[in-house]
């Protein structure tokens, strides 16, 4: 079984538009110490098993959050759009998105929520 983190990471790393902005600065959970934006982080928000009546697990719906980090709102939104395109290329569709300024970091974050299926 391929897990949602592998699906997400592989798709993001394969995204050419995303690579043009962040290179390989794509990290699970948080940016590595000493790294600066632009970058991408991703994390599992929730998992929902899909079982049949006999309790056999057929698939798991996983909610993944992908965050584009940048010094400008425009760049954060470009990262988010590139992430949407990279995940769409492997059949994953985004569910929602938002963007915000994070004053304590003096950075912008554009967050995209995806539903990824593990089977």
Q: Which tens digit of pLDDT belongs to each residue from 32-41?
A: 888 899 999 9
Domains plus CATH for the chain?
Answer: 4-118 (3.30.70.1700)
CA–CA separation, 22 and 24 (whole Å): 6
Q: For the full predicted model, state whether its pTM sits above 0.85.
A: yes
Per-residue pLDDT, averaged over 33-60, amounts to 92
Instruction: Give dist(CA 48, CA 50) in Å, integer.
Output: 7
């Amino acid at each position: 079984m391929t897990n949602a983190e592998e699906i997400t990471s592989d798709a993001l790393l394969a995204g050419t538009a995303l690579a043009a902005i962040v290179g390989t600065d794509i990290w699970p959970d948080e940016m590595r110490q000493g790294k600066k934006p632009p970058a991408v982080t991703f994390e599992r928000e929730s998992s929902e098993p899909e079982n049949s009546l006999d309790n056999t697990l057929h698939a798991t719906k996983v909610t993944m959050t992908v965050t584009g980090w940048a010094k400008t709102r425009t760049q954060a939104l470009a990262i988010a759009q590139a992430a949407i395109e990279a995940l769409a290329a492997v059949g994953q569709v985004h569910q929602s998105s938002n963007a915000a300024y994070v004053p304590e970091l003096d950075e912008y974050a554009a967050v995209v929520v995806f539903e990824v299926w593990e089977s």
